[in-house]
Amino acid sequence: VEHTRWLFGDQLGPYFLDDEDQQVLIVESRRVFRRRRFHRQKAHLILSAMRHRAAELGERCTYLVTDTYREALEQVEEPLSVVQPTTWAAVHFVDTLATEREIERLPARGYVTGRAEFSRWADGRGRRRLLMENFYRDARTRNDVLMKGAEPVEGRWNFDADNREPPPKSGRLDVLEPWWPEEDEIDAQVRADLDQMEADGYEFVGEDGPRTFAASTAEAQAALDHFVEHRLPLFGRYEDAMLTGDRWMAHSLISAPLNLGLLDPLEIVRAAEEAYVAGDAPISAVEGFVRQVMGWRDYIWNLYWYLGEDYRNENALRATTPLPQWFSDLDPSGTQARCLSWAVSSVREVGWAHHIPRLMVIGNYAQQRGWDPQALTDWYHRSFVDGYDWVMVPNVVGMSQYADDGVLGTKPYVGGGAYINRMSDFCGDCVYDPKKRTGDDACPFTVGYWGFLNRNREHLSGNFRMGQVLRNLDRLKDLDQLLAENPEFNAP
């Protein structure tokens, strides 16, 4: 007989099963919500998605609600099969179970490039040579995406240079708004259960609100179709820009359903490619989007495994400052920096912000101030609807905080107020002045930029890409005054 497929909560799409009448086990473990103070809307989304899947599967699905996974598994006697889970901890758990009972372990699904293929590309290159751009080109070639024979269509692999425009002065993008789900009785039940859990002492952060992200494959497909038809053409151009009045801009909002396993990433890529072939979306937009989905996402997924289990603990810049309470609590009134307060509000209100607020506002601020990268990883993980261990560890430890000393990025992602001012409309109404380094209205990002360079001068001097900015630091006339006003940026 075929084994019962035990599905984790992020393995909910059809491609995690092997045939039409396979039996399924889904476990809702309450212990998960005790370990971390998750965003209320994230807890809602995951429970809603799991229960929607169970409803779709009907009698084929055994759905157990228990404190721990182990308690649930004790109630099930059949032999099980499991698609490789998405975290180191869960993989070890399944490995241990497999010494106790019959469990067939299958390779991971839900990524364009598998671990073996990634190793073939990466082995022998050395840790600092694992460049995303090279990986991405290899993946495009292997999967024949946006290719003309052995060459990229239109003769270029990379359209990033076309995708860095500042936001339009009008303060809004001329683009149809995203697809939104409608809540149903499953959501009503999830909300009632979460209210009860709160009454029983479970703690959540962030606001509750109508569900914003897709929770079933049908919904995710509708969201994707809507994006490809109406929003993809504008995706690239303003990809890096931020607008006070429009947190979504032309982003796809696909990360949450994608990371729940509801969509197959290669199908997403093919849908975008078709829009290009049909002449409905420009190459800069389509290439930019494909780069995110089969480039960045797969690269992050694979590095999570390839760099090993201890990678999460790296802390090259020895950053140990604890996160402030207001930040942990998602309280935007904890800062007067308008950009940061806006980004924290977005996380509080919907558990989401696009890539640039994550990287150049929140991550940048944290890195400047030397916040503990492991605590920060945990914060992102619990606060974002699309956050899972595999995706947060490399994005935060590596890309955002440079705690890996330059594996994911060749230099730290730090920037001052000038960058944020150019790429957003935040600074006009801010109490601070993005150009000021000293005085009462000095911009905390500008101060933090120079302060970060000063504090880490010695460590960064080994990085040739930092040479120019360190020379600029040496020429800064008011550095002493900046450090007198902000002594936390003195070198240790």
User: Residue 189: phi, psi to the nearest 5?
Assistant: -65, -40
**Number of residues counted as binding ligand FAD (CB under 6 A):** 27
> Helices in 249-337 by DSSP H: which ranges?
255-259, 265-277, 283-290, 297-306, 325-328
Residues forming a β-bridge with 64: 27
Q: Which residues contact 100 (CB under 8 A, 6 or more apart)?
A: none
Q: How big is the chain, counted in residues?
A: 492
Greatest alpha-carbon span in the chain: 76
Query: Could you tell me which stretch among 10-18, 54-62, 264-272, 336-344 binds ligand SF4 (CB under 6 A)?
Result: 336-344
Residues within window 428-467 making contact with ligand SF4, judged by CB under 6 A: 430, 432, 434, 443-445
The site partner of 251 among ligand FAD, ligand SF4, none (C-beta below 5 to 8 Å per kind) is ligand FAD
Closest CA to 360 of 449, 437, 486: 449
The site partner of 443 among ligand SF4, ligand FAD, none (C-beta below 5 to 8 Å per kind) is ligand SF4
Residues within window 215-274 making contact with ligand SF4, judged by CB under 6 A: none
- Tell me the two tokens of residue 271: 């849908």
Q: Kindly tell me which residue out of 7, 12, 82, 258 binds ligand FAD, with binding defined by CB under 6 A.
A: 258
Contact by Cβ (8 Å): 189, 366: no
Residue recorded with tokens 């307060």 = 341
The site partner of 290 among ligand FAD, ligand SF4, none (C-beta below 5 to 8 Å per kind) is none
Q: Where are the beta strands (DSSP E) in 251-392?
A: none
Cβ-based nearer residue to ligand FAD, 205 or 300: 300
Q: Does 252 bind ligand FAD (CB under 6 A)?
A: yes
Distance, CA of 453 to CA of 442 (rounded, Å): 17
The site partner of 40 among ligand SF4, ligand FAD, none (C-beta below 5 to 8 Å per kind) is none
Q: Does 93 bind ligand FAD (CB under 6 A)?
A: no
The site partner of 42 among ligand FAD, ligand SF4, none (C-beta below 5 to 8 Å per kind) is none
Cβ-based nearer residue to ligand SF4, 299 or 432: 432
HSE of 160 in the Cβ direction (CA atoms, 13 Å)? 5
Helix (H, G, I), strand (E, B) or coil at 491: coil
Distance, CA of 227 to CA of 269 (rounded, Å): 12
Q: Does 446 bind ligand FAD (CB under 6 A)?
A: no
Site track for ligand FAD across 275-294, x = CB under 6 A: -----------------xx-
Q: In angstroms, what is the minimal distance from the CB of 148 to ligand SF4?
A: 42
Helix (H, G, I), strand (E, B) or coil at 147: strand
Q: Does 359 bind ligand FAD (CB under 6 A)?
A: yes
Q: Does 368 bind ligand FAD (CB under 6 A)?
A: no
Burial class (CB in 10 A: 0-12, 13-18, 19+), 161: exposed
Cβ-based nearer residue to ligand SF4, 275 or 482: 482
Helix (H, G, I), strand (E, B) or coil at 438: coil
Cβ-based nearer residue to ligand FAD, 261 or 482: 261
The site partner of 391 among ligand SF4, ligand FAD, none (C-beta below 5 to 8 Å per kind) is ligand FAD
What is the 3-state secondary structure of 160-194?
HHHCCCCCCCCCCCCCCCCCCCCCCHHHHHHHHHH
What residues make contact with ligand FAD under the rule CB under 6 A?
251-255, 258-259, 292-293, 296-297, 300, 354-355, 358-359, 363, 380, 384, 386-387, 391-392, 395-396, 399-400
Residues in touch with ligand SF4 (CB under 6 A): 337-339, 417, 420-421, 426-427, 430, 432, 434, 443-445
